[in-house]
Amino acid sequence: MDMKDVDAELARIGTAGTPAKRVAVLRRRLDDFEHGEDGRAEFLTALAGELHLVGDFAGAREASLAAIEDGGPTELDPRCGLLMSELEAGEDDRADALLAEMLVRVRSGLIGGVECEWIASTLEEAGRLRQALRWFTLPLLDVHPDDVEDVDMRALNGRYRVRRALGMPLDGYDLARDEWVALEGDA
């Protein structure tokens, strides 16, 4: 199945009915995929997200692990959803091990800024502010504060928000973010 078709079908499913109904639709649809077939991992990742919404963290974990094991293409690394499930379920040791694995993947170039921001937001929601700060900062490591126009503002905004919550003083990225926000307001 072409990934554009997968995205279109998942968009349709994502707007239909309740999360519980979407879980049922996704499970039925997954029966049509062979292991490793393009689209299967993306459907499993979507299923994990819907299971998370209905509070089935064990099911979400299982679907995320199946997506990882499948290895097919996904828009967002399924480990991101797995992290959210582990944190929600209170599985701190598994979450910490997963974070260590994901850090290796970032440093190897296997996951990028979108995943870093997603991980950081998940950690922020879980109250792990120091870790969130690290993950919001990772996409900025190769960017000088004077060149922030090259950076996704979500990373800068998230980092700024977490630093304020931690009571940290403004730094170069925070000041550059403030300047960028002011420029956007003038546009």
In the Cβ-directed half-sphere of 94, how many Cα atoms lie within 13 Å? 15
Q: What is the pLDDT of residue 146?
A: 76
What are the structure tokens assigned to 81, written together?
């959803």
* pLDDT in the model for residue 176: 87
Q: Do 95 and 31 belong together in one domain?
A: yes
Same domain, 11 and 101: yes
Nearest C-alpha neighbor of 151 from the set 99, 116, 125, 107 = 116
Q: Residues 87, 22: one domain?
A: yes
Torsion angle of C-alpha atoms 116, 50, 28, 74, degrees rounded to 10: -10
Is the same domain home to 129 and 166? Answer: yes
Quote the domain boundaries for residue 72: 1-111
Q: Determine the Cα–Cα distance for residues 21 and 35; give it in Å rounded to an integer.
A: 24
* Angstrom distance (rounded) from CA 180 to CA 153: 9
pLDDT digits (tens, 9 = 90+) for 150-170: 777 899 999 999 999 999 999
> Token digits for 133?
């700060």
Q: How many domains does the chain have?
A: 2
Task: Check: CB of residue 155 under 8 Å from CB of residue 113.
Answer: yes
| pLDDT band with cut points at 50, 70 and 90 for residue 183 | confident
Rounded CA-CA distance 76/34 in Å is: 20
Q: Where does the pLDDT of residue 70 fall: very low under 50, low under 70, confident under 90, or very high at 90 and above?
A: very high
